[in-house]
Amino acid sequence: MAISPRVTLFTTFALAYFLSYFFRSANAVIAGDLSRDLGLTAAQLGLMTSLFYASFALIQLPLGAALDRYGSRWVTPSLMLATVCGCLLFAAAQSFTMLALGRALIGLGMAGVLMGAFKAFGQWYPQQHVATISGFMVGIGASGGLAAATPLAWLNELIGWRAIFLGAAPLTLLSALAIVVWTRNTPPGVTQAGAGQQTGSLGHIMRDIRFWRIAPLNFFLLGTAQAVQGLWGGPYLIDVLGFSPIAAGNLLLAMGGGVVGGYFACGWLADRFGSQRAVFVGMLVFLVCQLSFVLSGQLPLALRYGIFIAFGFAGAFNIVLLAQIRALFPPYMSGRAVTAVNLFGFAGTALIQWWMGVIVGAWPRDALGQYPPIAYTTAFAAVALATALALAWYAPLALARPRYIAEPPRSPL
């Protein structure tokens, strides 16, 4: 019995996104080892980690044009070769510069995975199911965040971070080859849009006020979620709350579980209740969880786990923002529309990780090399306030009647 092309499309991109999520989250667990082995300051650690997202952001607009013209089958795996090189450089790094360059290359290579999946799903699935399918794919892929928590902490103690990244290089290469071999850009009978259809479309996107309601919210939603899960959650738990690295990894694992659950649920919730309302309610939960980081008091462990799970769950709703913007524009513009919003998300991740590092680093370390609680609470308070303002700016769109483009004809496969 032949496997459906939709199944292979879904599976190959989910596996690639597993690697992407693992890479983006890994530094939260190995941050202490990186700082010790290479003598990194908090600002350097934040900057180096943020380069994954900075390279993501810088490639988004040309990535969107490339996806619209050449399709996911070729663009995504071509970029993933940069991740292979980045893993090897990261594993061999003997200085901050080498580490930073490796991190940037890893991010550059992973930049096409999620956007390529959105582009391909828009071609292969009916519009009313894209949010749900995308959420399921990202939910499976986001288990890479689970792998980058307690399992990574255990593996890091066993073989070290250099061996981990050395082994990740061939896995990434195999994932790229799977996309080339087992996916196609469009179903039979559906053609890729030509270059002539693409002229001037980015300007059309940028002139739409709905884009500017969505983009800043994605900046702070994805930026803050990844800053906590991907870097500052671990040091916060260790320095402020006194958790051991393994115990901190367990809480980050719980957060990762919340992310996975959020990705599985958010698409269905958006299709059931409307993307604007789903995002707005999810963001309210996200802000309440952020307040607990600002207060940073001693809480029962079960409640602490609940907060981290809820924070991860709500942070997954950035996928709904991407599905929302994709539905506002015709298929031949969807790659650029989604990547333009995603640019804001990963620019936010890069800047917020670095920004929090600058704030935390403004306080001196104690004799144990840890930063005081006020350093972390100040950093969390700053991003919570900014996120609240972005949600207030998005609110008129959440209350508006949704308007979508007509579903184009497609193959019934």
Q: Distance (Å, rounded) from C-alpha 67 to C-alpha 122? A: 12
Using alpha carbons, select from 206, 174, 252, 221 the residue that is nearest to residue 352. 221
Q: Which amino acid is at 200?
A: G
Given a cut of 50, is residue 404 above it in pLDDT?
A: no
Tokens 């089958």 belong to 73
Average pLDDT, the chain: 86
**Percent of the chain, pLDDT > 70?**
93
Q: Distance (Å, rounded) from C-alpha 175 to C-alpha 165? A: 15
- Return the CATH fold of 8-185+202-399: Growth Hormone; Chain: A; (1.20.1250)
Please work out, in degrees rounded to the nearest 5, the angle formed at the alpha carbon of residue 101 by the alpha carbons of 49 and 143.
Answer: 45
Q: Supply the pLDDT for residue 124.
A: 80
- Between 260-264, 308-312, 326-330, the lowest mean confidence (pLDDT) is in 326-330
Q: How far apart are the first and last CA of the chain?
A: 15
Instruction: Name the band, by pLDDT with cuts 50, 70 and 90, for residue 2.
Output: low
Q: Summarize pLDDT for 89-111 with one digit per residue, the tens.
A: 999 999 999 999 999 999 999 99
pTM of the model as a whole: 0.73
Q: Summarize pLDDT for 49-101 with one digit per residue, the tens.
A: 889 988 877 888 899 889 888 999 999 999 999 999 999 999 999 999 999 99
Outline where 93-208 has alpha helix (H): 96-124, 127-141, 143-147, 150-159, 161-182, 201-206
Using alpha carbons, select from 259, 265, 264 the residue that is nearest to residue 312. 259
For the packed helices 150-159 and 161-182, what is the interaxial angle rounded to 10 degrees? 120
Q: Supply the pLDDT for residue 410.
A: 38
Exposed/middle/buried for 22, CB within 10 Å: 0-12, 13-18, 19+?
buried
Q: Distance (Å, rounded) from C-alpha 65 to C-alpha 280? A: 30
Q: Supply the pLDDT for residue 158.
A: 93
Given a cut of 80, is residue 195 above it in pLDDT?
A: no
For the beta carbon of residue 100, count every other beta carbon within 10 angstroms.
21
Instruction: Please compute Rg for the chain using Cα positions.
Output: 20
If you average pLDDT over residues 158-170, what whole number do you get? 95
Q: Distance (Å, rounded) from C-alpha 397 to C-alpha 351? A: 25
